[in-house]
Structure 1
């Protein structure tokens, strides 16, 4: 159960916990009944420790014991209400996965709640005004020193991530001479865990090819996004077009710490009339592809948690948005040298929500050009759709 996505967990996995007499631990807790107050407390504790699983509908042999019976809970509880209870009572907001697992030949279910380790510790239970940790098979209040240490770690981690992104990705772009920047507009898409400590995978040509094959199975033609040129880099693995003219090439790179970076040209400079054109569709396509590719990458390395999504555009001052309007329309001109848009999302929802995420980001990018919304998205029957093609 612990080595597969939550969507693949079945009742057989729950039965195995009982058959193998798997005891409660730092990452596993059995509960016989579902209680709104208790789940807030338990989720807070797991988030502040190492993450883990809450399994409702199981009676254990005692504190820290193994399953004694699988009785289940009533199947008619409101899953959405439960999610809102968790989201509305824990600060900052946590990310949990919830699944109902039917018990064969009954009208009852097992409720499985997966809580990833929090990346913005400490988490605060706003219902009873306490911080909790997982200790000795239960949720235990944290002392002041523990809370202070987690706050220090959070703010240090955030500044470390910002420095890493600046040094690893953006600093080389800022150092380009002005005459080289005139060759076009560059759009960078970065998706990264909020914590970047440690190594999540071992770079190798085999890993790169396997990841490319997995992405190709989801995308009809991914070769416009990933090239056949798989190379090692100082950060991990990169796919690039081999064109290093002016120190700027289209590339996709995955870092050992789980960061994904895609850089694509998304505009041109025309010397004959001194006009820069920004192609928002190229940027949106790159963003959508990167979200899907990152989802595939995280599935392969079994990463689950909050991620930061960043879109940064360089050299866009005085550029005109390419959307069929006149080049001389001042309302469509950007007056900023750089554009930066950020969002946070759950890693396991990147593929499912990729169009929604892209709309939010591209709407904000369009604001820089004097537009309320991006022309590339529309809503139909309550569903956000993308007008272009990225598959």
Structure 2
């Protein structure tokens, strides 16, 4: 059914099932016969300010709050790119949605399904009619002042809570890594997290960990290199840990997913050379970043999470380091004059897989800026297509 699948996998049979099973409208579902620009702004605002959900256009329901009476469809030439632009231009902060056209067999009509994530920067403002809306009693209802104020407070404290959690749960844990490992190398951290981290997003178990390992392995090559070691429980959730890293000074490899949806990968990405120089292996860092983005996309698809995420890259112990690909030092790069490299981006969770090379190229370009280079030498772009050049 519609709720049990990725939107890309939804078919006309799933739409028919809504009718056969007499699925009523709810907090998460609304049927509309016709598509209207003003209405879609209002409905998307309301869903974003509540729990997210689905708008299904082209269905006549039995009444307010009712189930589908018949499938009518809308014009197959409906311009979804135009609709997305209307939504982006009229809701503040910006809201990203997913849309899919589903052809109705033997007709020239379609069903349009719009999937709206629960907003993580609530409240969202409908700039078209100057109101805040919420989903209530099967419709978009204006919010009162107290509700609006509470959401603004939640947004402010939620962002502070995320920053505090990442600092305490991840970066302060570096104090537990043996001192000689910290001094003799450079650890690269990639963290991808929902902007809102309240609650538990999955139940840690061996079955979940093995299932996620298999899912990621089927989607990417080199998974065994990324997920080093067996899946194990951790105090935060599940981890894949190189259990020998404490004894092996050349190995620091860990991938961990937290119950609240945080994904953390820590890999060695630089070291001291015999001649006394310190070098950042940007190829190793880029590989970790690319794999972590794709692994996180697999994880979020498995738990059906949809929303904005923050992508963070941090490298410690960078002062006076050079840039290398692990074998050859860049002759153009200069020494890094910062103790740490710190880069952040925000992205839509459902675009991580599609955009993983674009995201990594953008971040690695900024890493290169720390060494006096405009762009990363690891990526190429030809005819608008970006590729990882290693």
TM value normalised by structure 1: 0.95
Inter-partner Cα distance in structure 1 for 2:181 and 2:220: 34
Inter-partner Cα distance in structure 1 for 2:161 and 2:25: 35
Write the deviation string for residues 77-110 of structure 1: whole angstroms up to 9, x where unpaired: 2111111111111111112110000000001100
Inter-partner Cα distance in structure 1 for 2:241 and 2:381: 35
Q: CA deviation at 1:175?
A: 7.2
1:276 pairs with 2:274? no
1:189: which partner in 2? 190
Write the deviation string for residues 213-247 of structure 1: whole angstroms up to 9, x where unpaired: 11111122311101232221110111111112499
Write the deviation string for residues 297-331 of structure 1: whole angstroms up to 9, x where unpaired: 111112111111100111111100115776786x5
1:356: which partner in 2? 358
Q: CA deviation at 1:177?
A: 8.0
Give matches, 1:140-289, under 5 Å: 140-173=141-174, 180-242=181-243, 243-245=245-247, 249-270=252-273, 272-289=274-291
Q: How many residues align?
A: 386
TM value normalised by structure 2: 0.95
Unaligned stretches of 5+ residues in structure 1: none
Give matches, 1:1-391, under 5 Å: 1-173=2-174, 180-242=181-243, 243-245=245-247, 249-270=252-273, 272-323=274-325, 331-388=333-390
Higher mean C-alpha deviation, range 159-168 or range 55-64: 55-64
SS of the residue aligned with 1:351?
Answer: helix
- Provide the alpha-carbon RMSD of the alignment: 1.8
> Against the structure 1 CA distance between its residues 366 and 57, is the aligned structure 2 distance closer, same or farther, given a 3 Å change threshold?
same
Inter-partner Cα distance in structure 1 for 2:75 and 2:203: 44
> Against the structure 1 CA distance between its residues 328 and 109, is the aligned structure 2 distance closer, same or farther, given a 3 Å change threshold?
closer
Q: CA deviation at 1:179?
A: 5.5
Inter-partner Cα distance in structure 2 for 1:357 and 1:40: 29
Unaligned stretches of 5+ residues in structure 2: none
Inter-partner Cα distance in structure 2 for 1:342 and 1:226: 23
SS of the residue aligned with 1:110?
Answer: strand
Contact 2:336 2:370 survives alignment (8 Å): yes
> Against the structure 1 CA distance between its residues 224 and 177, is the aligned structure 2 distance closer, same or farther, given a 3 Å change threshold?
closer
Inter-partner Cα distance in structure 1 for 2:346 and 2:307: 10
SS of the residue aligned with 1:118?
Answer: coil
> Against the structure 1 CA distance between its residues 135 and 165, is the aligned structure 2 distance closer, same or farther, given a 3 Å change threshold?
same
